[in-house]
Amino acid sequence: MTKYIVVTGGVMSGLGKGITAASIGRILRDIGYRVVPIKVDPYLNIDAGTMNPFQHGEVFVLKDGTEVDLDLGHYERFIGVEVTGEHNVTTGKIYMSVLEKERKGEYLGSTVQIIPHITDEIKNWIRGVAKKTNAEICLVEIGGTVGDIEGMSFLEAIRQMHNEESEEDFVLVHVTLVPLDSGGEQKTKPTQHSVKELRSLGLHPDVIVGRCKERLLPSTKKKIALFCDVPAEAVISAHDAEEIYEVPLIFKEEKLDEYLIKKLKLERRSDDKTWDEMVKKLKTLDREVTIAVVGKYVHVKDAYISIREALKHGGIYSGCKVNMILIDSEELERFEDFQFDVDGILVPGGFGHRGSEGKILAITYARENDIPFLGICFGFQLAVVEFARNVLGLENANSSELSDTPHPVIDLLPEQREIDKMGGTMRLGDIEVTLKKGTIVYQLYNRDKIYERHRHRYEVNPEYIPEFENAGMVFSGYSDNGRRMECLELPSKRFFVATQFHPEFKSRPYSPSPPFAGFVKSALEYSLENR
């Protein structure tokens, strides 16, 4: 029998519902339960694949290739699970499914309405995922804020589920804001109004998580409990932490695990300390490195979340704190001469011409100054372009995605050109990659077959590969029986590695991505030698 924990948010967006849900999942996993997460996004898009990172932040890619909201990344990193597109529910998916059923006549001529058809579809979807994955606890985060019109059908479906499930099988967690006034007093009125809004929809929170800059005072908790009709032990402080990975430990300090055990009638099967030990190590790192991430979405805090976290994971592995600085690749194009005072340079994924020349300048700087370099996806492709221009001497070499070039060293494969439509030939999700023995990436992974997640269309043009290899570039990983290049490296350099895939999506704080672990380790060695 699956138990359900639903997380909603009030007052304002951006309070950290995703981190809250992921942290709850972690503490339940640590006591021995199989937790399966689901993220509900009330927007009409089918998925996040076409969303602008400037508006929505990072697009996270799952193993089955589904492009989803960044909170799914938090779930995978915290809970240690790999999910699929079924675990991301959007209004677009729900309406499409209902309308397809209506067209097939599955509703037997009924007038199709929000209630019961849309709400039934939502409930069936959630329960179907829980059953398919054999979840003991299904963790459901409802995106947006209580009161948003687009989220009403989901909240109504949750209200119905609350009534249909037994009391010990359903917990509603509501995340709210507890701001400080000018005198530093913790104010509970926003929480009171948010819970009032929730109750007007027929939902009553079992747990209230108060986001505040400072730990909630006992008097604040007592006031929230009194006015919102929950036990004082069910008011949980989610005060600011230096690291997001501390939040599960804060929840344990707040005894949220004990309350959920009591409320859901669970037992403490185990007491896994892996997470605690990882956080302790993270908090005691006494060396530092600085990594420059050169991209075009640098003004959006959430655009490179998985990159930032994977660098952090590499730091935990290497025993150093990673300071990530974001450099606007468009701004870089305006300088004739520049210097990076960093220990490593990373060029991440992206699409389109804007800012691409700035990224190439950064790659040139890393190669010529022998600074540790890691290129990812578009960064891999631009490393090929940079080498073609500046080492092979192929003037105006480029990707055919970016310009009409006489030397398309990055191009669509022949079969892609025939069927290509925008996004139509995108390679997405887990793909098997073969690594060449004796190479850097083989040493990093310590095996010859790996599965990594992809999100790209263009490939290294096979016609130019012999020229690259003769000049010292090694294509150390490939897929599709050798037709597609997946990794490159320059053995003559300290650490110059790039991957067509996105290793950051599989990185975990207790199990770092091998390319990131190797990159940060090399950056630390560089730092110790040069600083």
DSSP secondary structure letters along 403-433: ---S-EEEE--HHHHHH--TTTT-EEEEEEE
Q: What is the mean pLDDT of residues 503-527?
A: 97
Mean per-residue pLDDT over the chain, rounded: 93
Residue 423's pLDDT is what?
A: 47
Q: Could you tell me which of 289, 279, 199, 208 has the C-alpha nearest to residue 241?
A: 279
How far, CA to CA in Å, does 259 sit from each of 8, 39, 96, 175, 214?
Answer: 18, 23, 39, 16, 22
End-to-end CA distance of the chain: 58
Residue 323's pLDDT is what?
A: 96
Q: What is the pLDDT of residues 174-210, one digit of tens each?
A: 999 999 998 889 999 999 999 999 999 999 999 999 9
Range scoring the smallest mean pLDDT among 144-148, 441-445, 512-516: 144-148
Q: Could you tell me which of 329, 331, 322 has the C-alpha nearest to residue 362?
A: 329
- How far apart CA 62 and CA 69 sit, in angstroms, is 10
**What are the φ and ψ backbone dihedral angles of 296, each rounded to 5 degrees?**
-110, 0
Count of alpha carbons within 13 angstroms of residue 268, beta-carbon side: 8
Q: Residue 257 is which amino acid? A: D
| Structural domain boundaries in the chain | 3-278, 285-530
Rg (CA), the chain: 25
Res. 340: pLDDT tops 70: yes
Residue 418's pLDDT is what?
A: 66
Q: What is the mean pLDDT of residues 216-229?
A: 96
Residue 37's pLDDT is what?
A: 97
> Environment class of residue 148 by beta-carbon count within 10 Å: exposed (0-12), middle (13-18) or buried (19+)?
middle
- Do 3-278 and 285-530 show the same overall fold? yes
Q: What is the mean pLDDT of residues 407-418?
A: 84
Residue 363's pLDDT is what?
A: 97
- Which of 110-114, 170-174, 408-412 ranks highest by mean pLDDT? 170-174
Dihedral-angle region of residue 330 (phi above 0 means left; psi in -120 to 50 means alpha; beta otherwise) = alpha
Per the DSSP assignment, residues forming a β-bridge with 5 are 139, 171
Helix (H, G, I), strand (E, B) or coil at 496: strand
58 vs 202 pLDDT, higher one: 202
Q: Residue 387 has which token pair?
A: 């080498």
Q: What is the pLDDT of residues 119-139, one digit of tens each?
A: 999 999 999 999 999 999 999
Q: Residue 434 has which token pair?
A: 């073969």
Cβ neighbours around 135 below 10 Å, total = 21
- How far apart CA 408 and CA 464 sit, in angstroms, is 9
What DSSP line would sit under 90-155, residue for residue? Answer: EHHHHHHHHHHHHHTTTTTTPPP-IIIIIHHHHHHHHHHHHHHTT-SEEEEEE-S-TT-GGGHHHH
Distance of CA 451 to the CA centre of its chain: 18
Mention the CATH class of domain 3-278. alpha beta
**What are the helix (H) ranges across 3-56?**
17-30, 53-56
Residue 299's pLDDT is what?
A: 83
Q: What is the mean pLDDT of residues 477-494?
A: 96
Cβ neighbours around 369 below 10 Å, total = 13
How far, CA to CA in Å, does 202 sit from each of 152, 218, 518?
Answer: 12, 28, 52
Catalytic site positions? 377, 502, 504
Residue 421's pLDDT is what?
A: 53
Helix (H) or strand (E) segment spanning residue 511 = none
Residue 420's pLDDT is what?
A: 60
Quick one: pLDDT band at residue 424, thresholds 50, 70, 90? low
Q: Residue 367 has which token pair?
A: 């190669």
Q: What is the mean pLDDT of residues 50-72?
A: 82
- Is residue 45 within 8 Å of residue 93, measured between CB atoms? no
State which fold the 285-530 domain adopts. Rossmann fold (3.40.50)
Q: What is the mean pLDDT of residues 329-345?
A: 90
- How far apart CA 132 and CA 128 sit, in angstroms, is 6
- How far apart CA 501 and CA 479 sit, in angstroms, is 11
Helix (H, G, I), strand (E, B) or coil at 475: strand
- How far apart CA 119 and CA 109 sit, in angstroms, is 18
Torsion angle, alpha carbons of 118, 64, 455, 310, to 10: 100
Give me the residue label for tokens 């790039």: 498
How far, CA to CA in Å, does 120 sit from each of 43, 149, 161, 397?
Answer: 18, 18, 10, 55
